[in-house]
Structure 1
Amino acid sequence: MKFTFTPDFLWGSTTAAYQVEGNNVNSDFWAEEHAEGSPYKDKSGDTIDHYRLYREDIALMASLGLKAYRFSIEWSRVEPEPGQYSRSAIEHYRDVLETCYKHGITPMVAMHHFSSPKWLMRLGGWASPEVPDRFAKYCEVVFNEIGHLIPYVLTMNEINLPVMLREIFSRIGFIPPVGIDRDAWTAPKWRESAAKLCGTTIENYFTFHMISDESSIKILKETHRKAREAIKRVQPKTKVGLSMALSDIQSIPGGEELAVQKWQSYFRQYLDMVEGDDFFGLQNYTREVYGPEGQVKPTEHAELTQMGYEFYPEALSNVIRKVSKDLSIPIIITEHGIATNDDERRVEFIRKALEGVHACLDEGFDIKGYLHWTTFDNFEWQSGYSMRFGLIEVDRSTQERKVKESGRYLGSISQTNSLIGMIV
C-alpha cells in the first residue's frame, strides 16, 4: 500500500549545536563535562566537527533527498560574555543558512537547545529574573542580522523536559540533567566544580534542566513570550514555536488518574505558553504506561532501544491525536528517532511511525513536517558517543561520514513524498 503526503510536507533531520559542532568552551555543558568527578562518559571535544564541515554535511543531506534541516544556534558562541556579540559566530550561522538554500533545503533554527553561556550561571542561571530580557535581546540581535533567512524558529527545545526529569527522580530527592543516572548524579562535588568553572557558586548554578519549580517555570514562560515578541518585531513572517518532549502516556486498570496527572504535568500546564505561537514542535520517542502503583516497566519480551526505551513507533500518532485535543495550530514533528546499532530496526521504526502520521493526516490533523533525530551519530550528553541515533555514521578518528540505509530510506520518502507500507 502506498501512502502519499501533501506536496509541501517538510522532510528532514535535526541536530543540536552542542552535540555536533565541537569545542563549545563557553557553554555550561562544557563546564559539566570538565568538572571534577563529572559523570559524563566522554568529553565532547571536536564532536563530529560540524562547525567546520557543515557545507559538506548539508550537501550530503541534500544528496539523500532531504528537504529540511533543523539545527540550533549556540547562544554561548553568539554572546560569549554579556552584551558582547561575536560577528564571526553570526557570520558562521549566516553561511549555514545560505548553504541550506544553496542545496534546496529549508532551514529551521532552534535558538536554544539545552546549553547556555557560562556567564548566565553567574547571574543565577535559568532561575534569574534577568533571563527573559537577556534571551530576547540575543534573539533580537540574531534576527536583525540573519532573521530574513529563517522561515521557522523554535525559541527553545523541549521546554518540558526538566519537569519530566524531576518527576522521574523526585522519589530519591534530586533533579538530574538529561541522560544522567542517579548514581552519577550523586558523584561528590561535581556540580560544585561545574559552578566554579562557570565562575560562580553552587547557589547560583541553575541550568536549563533544572526548570521544574513554579518560579523557574514562570520565568521560562516569560522568556518564550519575550523572545517570540522580539523575533516577530524584526521578522513578522518567521513562524515561531517551541518544542516539547512527549511520551505516549497510557494506563492499565487502576492507573488512569495517574496518567491524567502525568499528561497535565508534561503537556497541559504549558498550554498558556503556546498561545500566540505559529506552530507546535512535537518530539516523541516511546510510550509510558501507568498502573495503580506508578509507571509499569515494559514486559520482559519487549524490545528496548539503547536508551532503555520500549520500541513503540505507534506512540507518535497517539501523541499527535492527544495534543490536537488542545491545540489549534499546525504540528511539526521536530524530533523522532531511536538509539540502536541495528539500522534495519531504525528503518522499521520510521516506517511504522510514518504510517501512523499518514493516518493522522487522513483524519484531518494539521501536520506540516517530519524531522528525524538525528542526522548523525553524535555526542549524546552524559552517555557520550555510545548511543547511535544517526541516519549517518561518523568515524570520529577521520570524521568520515557513512550513510546508513535509514538515511537513504528517509531520503527516498522525501524525494517521492510517499512511502510504501506493509500489506496487512
Structure 2
Amino acid sequence: MTHPRLPADFLWGVATAGHQNEGDNTAGDTWFLEHTTPSLFREPSGPACRGYEHWAADLDLVAGLGLNAFRFSVEWARVEPERGTVSAEALDHYERMVDGCLERGLAPVVTFSHFTAPHWFAAAGSWTAADAPARFAEQCDRVTARFGDRIACAVTLNEPNLEQLLQAGAKLPPEAERLKEEMLAAAARAAGSPGYGSANVIPAGRQEEFQEAFTRAHRAAREAVKARRADLPLGVSIALADEVAVPGGEERRNAKRAAVYDHWLREARHDDFIGVQNYERIVHGPDGEVLPDGERNGMGTVIEPASLAGAVRYAHEVAGVPVLVTEHGIQTADDTQRATFIPAAVDALAAEIAAGTPVLGYCHWTLMDNFEWIFGYGAQLGLHEVDRTTFRRRPKPSAAAYADVVRRYRDGLAQGPRT
C-alpha cells in the first residue's frame, strides 16, 4: 500500500538544545554541577559544539536537508545570568536565530526550558521554590514579547518526567543515585545555599515534589505565553517509551504508564499538543521487563522502529490532543543502524497518522553529536559528526537517509509497508 501524502503543513525538523550545543553556558546550573566535586557528569560540556557562534551555518545544514522546522531552546541562564539582570545581547541572539529560521523556510519550534536553568535559580530552591512558577513565567513572557509573534510552536518544559522514567526502568545503578545526592550537597555548599536543585538530576525521594513543581511552572508559563499570543500552539514534551505487554505483563505495563506518563498526558488536555520524545520500546512480562531477541542500540534495548508509532498512539489516546514528535532518534556509534532506523520509523509513524492519530510534525534528535548530559560526549545521536578540535560538522549517511525520506513524503512518493 502507498500512504497518502502527509499534510502540507506537517513539520519535518531536527531538535537541538542550548546547553548541549551552544557551549560555555557558564551561568547555568548544569555548568555548575559539571564543575562540582564530586560530579555525576562524566566530563564538562566546555565549548560543546560552539553552536552559539555557528548557528547560522547550522541552520544552513538544516535547510540543506530539505526540512521545514528547527527546534531549539532559549537558554534562560544566558538571558538572565543574574536574578533581575536581563541580557539584551542574549535576547538579540535568539531573535536573530528565529529570523534566520524564517529566512530559510524553517518553522521555529522554541523550548523555554530544556532542563537547564540559571545558577541563581538552582541555588534559591530551584523548581520547588515558592516563587519558581512566577520566575519562569517572567522568562517565558520576556521571550514571547520579543519574538513570540514569529515562532511556530512553543514547548514549556522538556521531559519533566525523565527522572521518573529512568528510575522506573532502573536505568541508573544505585551508586549513581548516591553520587547524585553527594553532588547536589556539594553544590549547595559551594553556592552557600541551603540546597541545590536541577531539572534532570532529581533525587529519588523528591520525584513527587518536583512533579508538582514542574506542573505549577508549566501552568504559569502557559498562562504567560497565551496572554501575549493566544493562538500560539503550546505544549509540554515528555519522555515516552513504547510500553507493550506480553500475556501476563499487562498489569506491570499499566503501572509503569500510570507512574511515569499519565500525569503529564492528562495535564496536556489543557494544551494545544503533547510533545512526545521516544527512543525505545519496553516489553513487560508477568515477572518484569523482557528483552526480545534482536539488534540492540547504545541504550541496551532492542532496536524497534515501530516504537515511535506506539508511543504516539498512547499519548493521543490519553491526552486527546494532537501530538508533536519533539524528539526521536537512536543512540548508536554505528550510523548504518541510524540510516536504516529513520525511514522505517517514519513509515510506521505515517501509517499511524493514516489510521487517524493526529500528528503535527516530526523532529529528529539531533542535528549533530553533542553533549549528552551525564554521559558527556560518549553517546552519539547526531546526523552529523563534530570534530572536537575544529568543530567542523561532517554529515553522516543518516543525514542523507533522513533527507531522502522527507523528500519522498513531501513529494507524495513514500511507500508504506507491503501487505
TM-score normalised according to structure 2 size: 0.93
In 2 relative to 1, CA 45–271 (structure 1 residues): closer, same or farther, beyond 3 Å? same
1:127 corresponding residue in structure 2 = 128
1:335 pairs with 2:327: yes
Deviations 1:200-225 (A, max 9, x none): 24xx2222132854333222212111
Q: What is the aligned counterpart of 2:197 among 198, 201, 206? A: 206
1:176 corresponds to: none
Question: What is the CA–CA distance in structure 2 between the aligned matches of 1:162 and 1:228, rounded to whole Å?
Answer: 23
Please tell me whether residue 411 in structure 1 is matched to residue 403 in structure 2.
yes
Aligned match for 2:186, one of 185, 189, 193: 193
Describe the superposition over 1:323-369 as per-residue Cα deviations: whole angstroms up to 9, x where unpaired. Answer: 22223321111100001122221122111111111111111111111
Pairs aligned (count): 411
Q: Superposed, which structure 2 residues align to 1:62-101 within 5 Å?
A: 62-101=63-102
Cα-Cα RMSD: 2.0
Residue from 352, 355, 363 that aligns with 2:355: 363
SS at match of 2:113: coil
Shift of 1:186: 2.9
Superposed CA offset, 1:242-281 (max 9, x none): 1111111122333211111111112212234213211111
For residues 371-419 of structure 1, give each alpha carbon's deviation from its aligned partner in whole angstroms, at most 9, with x where no partner exists. 0011111111111111110011111211111111211222233334153
Gaps of 5+ in 1: 170-178
Whichever residue aligns with residue 244 of structure 1, its letter is I
Q: Where do residues 197-276 of structure 1 align in structure 2 (5 Å cutoff)?
A: 197-201=190-194, 204-209=195-200, 210=202, 213-276=207-270
**Distance of 1:291 and 1:127 partners within structure 2:** 36
Contact 2:240 2:277 in 1 (8 A): yes
What is the distance in 1 between the residues matched to 2:41 and 2:300? 18
Asked if residue 164 in structure 1 is aligned to residue 165 in structure 2, the reply is yes
Cα offset for 1:320? Answer: 1.8
Q: Secondary structure, in 3 states, of the residue corresponding to 2:158?
A: coil
Q: 1:325 to 1:272 in 2, by over 3 A?
A: closer
Q: 1:218 to 1:192 in 2, by over 3 A?
A: closer
SS in 2 for 1:107: strand
Q: How far apart in 2 are the matches of 1:77 and 1:199?
A: 22
Distance 1:392 1:109, change over 3 A: same
Q: 1:382 to 1:213 in 2, by over 3 A?
A: closer
Matches within 5 A, 1:307-318: 307-318=299-310
TM-score by length of 1: 0.92
Q: Among the aligned pairs, what percent are the same residue?
A: 36
Gaps of 5+ in 2: none
The aligned amino acid for 1:280 is I
Aligned to 1:399: 391
Aligned residue type for 1:282:
V
Q: 2:219, 2:40 → 1: CA distance? A: 34
Give the distance between the partners of 1:245 and 1:403, measured in 2 at CA: 27
* 8 A contact 1:225–1:273 mirrored in 2: no
Query: Residue 136 in 1 paired to residue 176 in 2?
Result: no
- Cα distance 1:351–1:413, how it changes in 2: closer, same or farther (>3 A)? closer
Q: Is the 8 A contact 2:165 2:260 kept in 1?
A: yes
Pair 1:271–1:185, CA change in 2 (3 A): closer
Letter in 1 for 2:105: G
Q: 1:23 and 1:192 mapped to 2: Cα distance?
A: 24
